[in-house]
A and B are shown apart, each in its own frame.
Chain A
Amino acid sequence: MKITFEIECGLVYNQGPSVEVCINDQQVTDQTLTQKNLLEYTVDNSQDTVVKIIHKNKTDRDTVVMDNQIVADKWLKVNNLWVDDILLNNILCTTDCADGNVDRLKSDSLYLNGHLVYQFPKDFFNWYYEFIKNLDLQYIKNHTDSEAEQKYLGYNQESSALPEIHQILESRGYSITS
């Protein structure tokens, strides 16, 4: 399975942040990023994968302040994430900054030293389907609009007419592979 991150960075004197990427605790990248970056990795979809994007070595000198205004800063932001070329919402990450703050509300940016954590459960797209389904069920529970109706119908594919259709077709010599 291919995972691609599109990362945008803030530069100071034309230099981006220092970043390490670890997959399941194994370092796979250690580099200084530029303004626009595409980082691509192939992982084994038969097991869980955790990708850590670590922003490191940021010092006071990496934030340039003039007249009480930040005029240049090293930061990074994951603008897009693709799994097998499919763009996914930013739902997979949590942020853990070096100062001990843990933002479980999900962020895609690091302005301080710290790391973004992306978790890809095994058999990823089946997991993703269930994840979205749960979000949709919550939406259906709390809304009565046409979107809720569409979502409801999308998941509720039973029909009381089916047994009778089976019966009629079978009586006419047709068999259905289900």
Chain B
Amino acid sequence: MDTVLLVNLPRQDAERAPAVIAGLAGICKSIDADYEVADLNLQTIRAATSEEWREFQDWLSYFSTECSDKILQGFKDLVVQHLPKQHFSIIAVSLFTYETIRSAHLVLPLLRQAYPNSKIVVGGHGTDFSDKDNNNRPFYQVVLENKLIDAYILGEAEASFKEYILNYNTWVNTSHKHQISNLDTMPFACYDKILPQQYLHTGVISTYITGSRGCVRDCSFCDVKFIWDKFRYRSAEHIFEEILQHHLNYGTMHIEFTDNLINGSLSEFKKLNQLLVSAHKKYPSLKELTYLGDFICRPAKQFTEEDYRLMSLAGGKDIIVGIETFSEPVRYHMGKKFSNEDIDFHLYASGKYGIKNTFLMQVGYPTETIDDHQINLKYLKKYQKYGLSKVIKLIRWGFTTGILPGSPLDVKFRHTLPLVSSENETEVYGESQWTTPSNPTLNYSERARRRIELHYATKELQYNQPRVHDEFLSILATLKGRTPPKLDEH
């Protein structure tokens, strides 16, 4: 029987066992393929000092251009030490994001050397990402040319991984982006060889679940629709069965949904909550299970008080909500069709049923006027009791609005507003230095000013805010005309 080695690379979080590897393991298990896992991300985090890890991850995340030889050699030694000493037919390397590209360049030659007769295949979001160290060519082309890999799978690699395992000797590489049409056909993730309790959990055993891919919305600032053309979701029954399996097999007490929106499919989300609550009688320990996910605020007639009650009972006590702005005209332009009355109701129901919110906000959207900015300041005061009582546990104003490639702001509104690049723009992350003749006073300095003003107001009203220092360093760099460090927008 063919055997597979699943390789996970830095840099990734290690709070929970890697979902992608668990997904691939589930596929192997479903076809009785023997497999092993080398989680080089976890091993690196465990072996490195915090200073070494910081330097290494800054380099992997392209914050810095260099990393000391000592750290690079240490990483390579660790890789060699942790690779299983047995033959594998297939070495499957997961490139979770662009932040795994540099480590892949270090690891792939070592894999080739350790397993000269194995087929090496790569997949994941990082696979066709621009390789900045190689003239921005797609990563897979660079490593294929250098004979470091034999195959690559673009798009959702899980869609074709089973097919690859069964036909790896005759596999033909293609630029087609694979996509799973029916998520319910995917086997459940398997954590047998990456036990969740080994990871850096926060006191409770926790695993990821993917309930859907893509998004039901097409928000103007967001590139999700560009990456995931079609919204697909699993049935509530399928998700519930997987949660139950992880709970019973691994003691999972907390779920983090990777979905863009956990309530994208409202009917399935409501059904999932009902299934979880109904299962309390048979599995009392499920009462203590909690989940975290990204949630869209909806009108009260769509998501009622009873739905909030059920969500809380089912364990949905911590949600991340893209409110974006308290100005309705700006929010509507973004394509977020919920009113301020809906936010009032959302906060009321969250407060009543003990649901904590992280609000994701934006400053300086292209249509934001000074009056819209004042509305943001006004609503901070209005909602203060929700901040003090931690119903709003965090509020993040982030950077100022950037134009993400592929987003509607880039593709559609760039021409209609229009959006114009500032004269001194260099390579600025998210193209934050735009201006628009339709709102001429909203240049970058004004956006920065509003951002700082909101910071002071938020702080004075005692809301908690995350990561402000990172954001201000980025704003400072942009104001000085330098390329700011690349940080996650949300």
Chain A: residues with CB nearer than 8 A to chain B? 82-88, 125-126, 128-129, 132, 143, 145-147, 150-151, 153-155, 157-162, 164-166, 168-169, 172, 174-178
Cβ of A157 to closest chain B Cβ, rounded Å: 5
A143 surroundings in chain B (CB, below 8 A): 202
List 8 tightest A-B contacts by C-beta distance, closest first: A154-B464, A161-B472, A86-B351, A125-B388, A129-B388, A159-B469, A87-B354, A145-B202
Chain B: residues with CB nearer than 8 A to chain A? 13, 15, 200-203, 348, 351-354, 384-391, 393-394, 445-446, 448-449, 452-453, 455-456, 459, 462, 464-469, 472-473, 475-476, 479-480
**Contact between chains at A166 and B202 (CB < 8 Å):** no
**With A84-B385, A85-B351, A87-B354 given, is the CB distance from A165 to B479 under 8 Å?**
yes
Cβ of B481 to closest chain A Cβ, rounded Å: 10
**Contact between chains at A176 and B464 (CB < 8 Å):** no
Cβ of B185 to closest chain A Cβ, rounded Å: 33
Cβ of A2 to closest chain B Cβ, rounded Å: 12
Q: Which among A82, A129, A162, A174 is the interface contact of B472 at CB below 8 angstroms? A: A162
Cβ of A64 to closest chain B Cβ, rounded Å: 26
B394 surroundings in chain A (CB, below 8 A): 150, 154
Q: Which among B386, B446, B465 is the interface contact of A157 at CB below 8 angstroms? A: B465
A176 surroundings in chain B (CB, below 8 A): 449, 452-453, 456
A82 to B467, CA, bound (A): 31
A1 to B456, CA, bound (A): 28
Cβ of A127 to closest chain B Cβ, rounded Å: 9
Instruction: Write 14 A-B pairs (CB below 8 A) sorted by A numbering.
Output: A85-B348, A85-B352, A87-B352, A125-B388, A155-B464, A157-B459, A157-B468, A158-B469, A159-B472, A166-B452, A168-B445, A177-B453, A178-B452, A178-B456
- The residue in A85, A125, A157 that gathers the most chain B C-beta atoms within 10 A of its C-beta is A157
A125 to B389, CA, bound (A): 6
Whose C-beta in chain A lies nearest to the C-beta of B385? A125
**Contact between chains at B462 and A129 (CB < 8 Å):** yes
- The residue in B15, B393, B459, B472 that gathers the most chain A C-beta atoms within 10 A of its C-beta is B472
**Contact between chains at A160 and B469 (CB < 8 Å):** yes
**Contact between chains at A157 and B455 (CB < 8 Å):** yes
Q: Which among A86, A160, A172 is the interface contact of B391 at CB below 8 angstroms? A: A86
**Contact between chains at A154 and B465 (CB < 8 Å):** yes
Q: Which among A82, A83, A88, A169 is the interface contact of B449 at CB below 8 angstroms? A: A169
**Contact between chains at B445 and A82 (CB < 8 Å):** no
A178 to B449, CA, bound (A): 11
A126 to B448, CA, bound (A): 30
**Contact between chains at B445 and A172 (CB < 8 Å):** yes
Whose C-beta in chain A lies nearest to the C-beta of B391? A86
A121 to B489, CA, bound (A): 40
A145 surroundings in chain B (CB, below 8 A): 200-203
A150 to B394, CA, bound (A): 9
**Contact between chains at B480 and A168 (CB < 8 Å):** yes
Cβ of A135 to closest chain B Cβ, rounded Å: 11
A88 surroundings in chain B (CB, below 8 A): 389
A169 surroundings in chain B (CB, below 8 A): 445, 448-449, 452, 479
Whose C-beta in chain A lies nearest to the C-beta of B475? A165
**Contact between chains at B389 and A86 (CB < 8 Å):** yes
A167 to B354, CA, bound (A): 42
Cβ of A118 to closest chain B Cβ, rounded Å: 16
Whose C-beta in chain A lies nearest to the C-beta of B387? A129
Whose C-beta in chain A lies nearest to the C-beta of B358? A150
A175 to B445, CA, bound (A): 11
Q: Which among A132, A157, A166 is the interface contact of B390 at CB below 8 angstroms? A: A132
A141 to B391, CA, bound (A): 23
B468 surroundings in chain A (CB, below 8 A): 153, 157, 159
A160 surroundings in chain B (CB, below 8 A): 469
Cβ of A164 to closest chain B Cβ, rounded Å: 6
**Contact between chains at A161 and B476 (CB < 8 Å):** yes
A143 to B479, CA, bound (A): 37
A165 surroundings in chain B (CB, below 8 A): 448, 452, 472, 475-476, 479
A147 surroundings in chain B (CB, below 8 A): 202-203
A153 surroundings in chain B (CB, below 8 A): 465-468
A143 to B202, CA, bound (A): 9
Cβ of A152 to closest chain B Cβ, rounded Å: 10
A161 to B469, CA, bound (A): 7
A158 to B449, CA, bound (A): 16
A60 to B466, CA, bound (A): 56
B351 surroundings in chain A (CB, below 8 A): 82, 85-87
A164 to B472, CA, bound (A): 10
Known: A125-B384, A143-B202, A159-B468. 10 other contacts (CB 8 A): A82-B352, A86-B391, A129-B389, A153-B465, A154-B393, A154-B464, A157-B459, A161-B472, A162-B452, A166-B452
A84 to B469, CA, bound (A): 34
Whose C-beta in chain B lies nearest to the C-beta of A165? B476
Q: Which among B202, B449, B462 is the interface contact of A146 at CB below 8 angstroms? A: B202
B201 surroundings in chain A (CB, below 8 A): 145
Whose C-beta in chain A lies nearest to the C-beta of B394? A154
A107 to B353, CA, bound (A): 21
A132 surroundings in chain B (CB, below 8 A): 390
A168 surroundings in chain B (CB, below 8 A): 445, 476, 479-480
A164 to B475, CA, bound (A): 11
B449 surroundings in chain A (CB, below 8 A): 169, 174-176
- The residue in A84, A155, A159, A175 that gathers the most chain B C-beta atoms within 10 A of its C-beta is A159
